[in-house]
Amino acid sequence: MSEQLLQRDANAVWHPYTQHQTAGPLLPVASGSGAYLYDTEGRAYLDMIASWWVNLHGHGTEAIAEAIFHQARRLDHVHFAGVTHEPAVQLSEKLLALTGLDGRVFLSDNGSTAVEVALKAAHQYWRNRGQRRKRVLVFEGGYHGDTVGAMALGRTSGFFGAFEELLFDVERIPVPQVWIGHGAEEEERAVLAGLDRTLVERGDEISALVVEPLVQGASGMRFHSEGFLEGVCGAVQASGIPVIADEVMTGFYRLGTLFAFQGTRVRPDVVCLSKGITGGVLPLGATVFRRPVFEAFLGPDFSQALAHGHSYTANPVVCAAALANLQLLEAPGFGERVARLERAFRDGLDRLMDRGRIERPRVRGGVCAFEIGGGQSGYGAAEGRSLAQFAQERGVLIRPLGSTVYLIPPYCVTAGEVERVFGILEDWLEQFARAGRG
């Protein structure tokens, strides 16, 4: 059955972020349960990347599946222009309460679109107020999705060279990186001083700041400090410029708090959400706005309205899945589950660091990362592919970002399972060193 499925795939499917001429064999997945996926032959694989950072509670979560079933029987879909329904209203109320923003929620269908909505709203926010502000401030190396506006924000992430001529210019802020045993206070002060000059010289050209708070995901799980994020956002907001927090990856306890910004003193004006919002079961995006941003779109005619939407905006079934997921996240003691995962990660990193096998180890909440020392750089680094194959043969799914190894599992993973993964990592690193490459 596996070979037949793989052949049919080879004849019909174009996979994301894949060079089909050189890619290795696909893993034919048939089912999932808890922290594990199972292939068509029944072999189990521990999902240590939460199926591209979306799965929170494990595969086959009964509460979410039940919510989907009952909502699909009651109301499967209805257009959302001129119509409303209970799941969308309830979800929007819940997201406003959880984020602490007091405005409105715009529902869409993925993380890139959630950012695109925020970007368009920021541009039109100033236009509706009689100003033209065409520039956006971003963190250098950030990634915000694959739609054209989001690509422009992430043009320095290394993913979008083929589309350079389509992208508008942005104002970039260098991001001093931190990891275990390494701060960047002096570099942070220099960057903040440069930002102050930019705001004085060109602040009236800037529509918004867009940040991935505390961790830049796809560019290599690069960490920055709370103080740096607070300094940047504080300076920008003091200049009257809205801050957009892209929490597509960092939200829903990934960094130990429900939303990453809640582990800091930053209070953004806009929050973009997706990935874990439905527990990793169905696609949904949400862009949450403070009231002053929303009110700039009120007026006597359509020209001041936000002209954006999708056929599946606020799909009731997807909203029901999100509500079931949020109910699970609000269970007493859920944050401690993430804290236990962080402790297991720290124990594993200590094990690798004691042997001097890794560089730039870092961990926060349910995200753990390090660099393979002595290897290649770039998204297609051979070491990352080699490690992924080595781990898969031993029943663990990981997907390194080039020479950056990261772990972002479902929260149901146990300390024993994390320990087993670090044993596999250690075995590969020893093999890598014996080959004379590390």
Whole-number pLDDT of residue 379: 58
Question: Helix 316-329 vs helix 62-74: angle between axes, to the nearest 10 degrees?
Answer: 150
Percent of the chain's residues with pLDDT above 90:
87
Examine the pLDDT at 374 and tell me if it is beyond 80. Answer: no
From the centroid of its chain, how far is CA 257? 14
Identify residue 397 by its one-letter amino acid code.
L
* Same domain, yes or no: 259 and 402: no
- Beta partners for residue 245, in sequence order: 211, 271
Whole-number pLDDT of residue 377: 58
The residue among 314, 329, 344 that closes a domain is 329
Query: What single DSSP character describes residue 284?
Result: -
* Same domain, yes or no: 286 and 383: no
The pLDDT mean for the chain works out to 95
The residue among 268, 299, 329 that closes a domain is 329
The residue among 300, 329, 358 that closes a domain is 329
Contact (Cβ atoms closer than 8 angstroms) between residue 405 and residue 387: yes
Whole-number pLDDT of residue 157: 83
- Beta partners for residue 137, in sequence order: 171, 209
* Same domain, yes or no: 163 and 230: yes
Q: Determine the average pLDDT of the residues in 252-256.
A: 98
Q: Determine the average pLDDT of the residues in 140-161.
A: 90
Model confidence pLDDT, tens digit, residues 49-65? 999 999 999 999 999 99
Nearest to 289 by CA among 88, 131, 78, 120: 120
* Same domain, yes or no: 122 and 188: yes
Kindly indicate the confidence band of residue 156, based on its pLDDT and cuts at 50, 70 and 90: confident
212 three-state secondary structure: coil
CA dist., res. 244 & res. 248, Å (int):
12
CA dist., res. 108 & res. 313, Å (int):
5
Examine the pLDDT at 1 and tell me if it is beyond 80. Answer: no
Give the active site residue among 36, 45, 125, 143: 143
* Same domain, yes or no: 259 and 301: yes
17 part of the active site: yes
* Same domain, yes or no: 52 and 91: no
Give the active site residue among 125, 275, 406, 411: 275
Identify residue 61 by its one-letter amino acid code.
T
Whole-number pLDDT of residue 106: 98
Question: Helix 316-329 vs helix 86-99: angle between axes, to the nearest 10 degrees?
Answer: 40
What is the extent of the structural domain holding 141?
62-329
Q: Determine the average pLDDT of the residues in 8-13.
A: 96
Contact (Cβ atoms closer than 8 angstroms) between residue 341 and residue 363: no
Q: What is the four-CA torsion angle of 269, 275, 278, 283, rounded to 10 degrees?
A: 110
Examine the pLDDT at 12 and tell me if it is beyond 60. Answer: yes
Kindly indicate the confidence band of residue 434, based on its pLDDT and cuts at 50, 70 and 90: confident
275 part of the active site: yes
* Same domain, yes or no: 162 and 32: no
Kindly indicate the confidence band of residue 438, based on its pLDDT and cuts at 50, 70 and 90: very low
Examine the pLDDT at 124 and tell me if it is beyond 90. Answer: yes
Q: What is the four-CA torsion angle of 283, 308, 300, 292, rounded to 10 degrees?
A: 60
> Could you identify the residue written with the tokens 């942070």?
188
CA dist., res. 393 & res. 236, Å (int):
48
Whole-number pLDDT of residue 223: 98
Contact (Cβ atoms closer than 8 angstroms) between residue 146 and residue 112: yes
Give the active site residue among 36, 45, 125, 246: 246
Nearest to 107 by CA among 324, 327, 308: 308
246 part of the active site: yes
Q: Determine the average pLDDT of the residues in 150-170.
A: 89
Contact (Cβ atoms closer than 8 angstroms) between residue 299 and residue 274: no
Q: Determine the average pLDDT of the residues in 164-189.
A: 95
Number of domains in the chain: 2
Percent of the chain's residues with pLDDT above 70:
97
CA dist., res. 380 & res. 384, Å (int):
8
100: Cα within 13 Å, side-chain hemisphere: 9
CATH number at residue 402: 3.90.1150.10
* Same domain, yes or no: 316 and 409: no
Whole-number pLDDT of residue 436: 65
Contact (Cβ atoms closer than 8 angstroms) between residue 47 and residue 296: no
> Could you identify the residue written with the tokens 């590390």?
438
3-state secondary structure 289-325: ECHHHHHCCCCCCHHHCCCCCCCCCCCHHHHHHHHHH
CATH number at residue 66: 3.40.640.10
Pairing of strands 396-397, 367-372: unpaired
Identify residue 19 by its one-letter amino acid code.
Q
Whole-number pLDDT of residue 161: 87
Contact (Cβ atoms closer than 8 angstroms) between residue 274 and residue 248: yes
* Same domain, yes or no: 156 and 89: yes
134 part of the active site: no
* Same domain, yes or no: 12 and 69: no
* Same domain, yes or no: 295 and 351: no
Whole-number pLDDT of residue 158: 82
| Dihedrals phi, psi of 151, to nearest 5 degrees | -65, -40
Q: Which of 29-33, 108-112, 241-245, 433-437 has the lowest mean pLDDT?
A: 433-437
Identify residue 288 by its one-letter amino acid code.
V
* Same domain, yes or no: 140 and 203: yes
Model confidence pLDDT, tens digit, residues 178-227? 999 999 999 999 999 999 999 999 999 999 999 999 999 999 999 999 99
Q: Distances from the Cα of 219 to the Cαs of 99, 139, 154, 222, 304, in angstroms?
A: 25, 11, 9, 7, 36
Angle CA 372–374–380, to nearest 5 = 65
Model confidence pLDDT, tens digit, residues 315-341? 999 999 999 999 999 999 899 999 999
> Could you identify the residue written with the tokens 């929170």?
56
Examine the pLDDT at 400 and tell me if it is beyond 80. Answer: yes
